[in-house]
């Protein structure tokens, strides 16, 4: 059974801010919302290995520095290109003043390999396949 990991104290994160938390290989970004909700997602952008804790967080969305891709912090889902792949998220539990993270009931904690930097590679992964447009009956 997996033991939850103490990531930080509640007061270590200011409202609408992110901190970086490293535990062995995985690195995480932990966010505190205006309504005192805590979210934890994989810390590295799926487009390029830039840490999200250096980005700007508002309304449960983080905008990463550089390319300005956005991810939802509750789900890890991409919100704006070039972000494309969903980030793994971790369950957050608050016990007293401690913020604990662990995988129970969360999305799989799978490491994403940095994506190709070419626009063609990005488009191939993120753009839907073209579909024929139906013609109106004649």
Per residue in 24-58, pLDDT (tens digit) is 778 999 999 999 999 999 999 888 888 999 999 99
Confidence at 108, pLDDT banded by 50, 70, 90: very low
Phi, psi of 95 (to 5 degrees): -125, 105
Average pLDDT, the chain: 79
Per residue in 89-105, pLDDT (tens digit) is 988 999 999 999 986 53
The sign of the dihedral angle between the CA atoms of 51, 45, 93, 103 is negative
> Which domains does the chain carry?
5-111 (2.102.10.10)
The sign of the dihedral angle between the CA atoms of 52, 1, 4, 22 is negative
pLDDT at 130 (0 to 100): 57
pLDDT at 26 (0 to 100): 80
């Amino acid at each position: 059974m997996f033991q939850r990991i103490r990531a930080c104290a509640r007061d270590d994160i200011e409202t609408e801010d992110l901190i970086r938390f490293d535990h062995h290989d995985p690195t995480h970004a932990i966010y505190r919302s205006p309504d005192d909700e805590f979210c934890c997602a994989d810390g590295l952008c799926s487009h390029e290995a830039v840490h999200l804790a250096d980005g700007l967080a508002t309304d449960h969305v983080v905008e990463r520095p550089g390319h300005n891709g956005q991810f939802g912090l509750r789900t890890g889902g991409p919100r704006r290109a070039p972000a494309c792949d969903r980030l793994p998220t971790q369950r957050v539990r608050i016990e007293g003043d401690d913020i604990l993270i662990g995988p129970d009931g969360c999305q799989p904690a799978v490491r994403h390999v940095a994506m190709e930097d070419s626009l063609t590679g990005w488009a191939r992964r993120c753009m839907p396949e073209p579909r024929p447009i139906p013609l109106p009956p004649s």
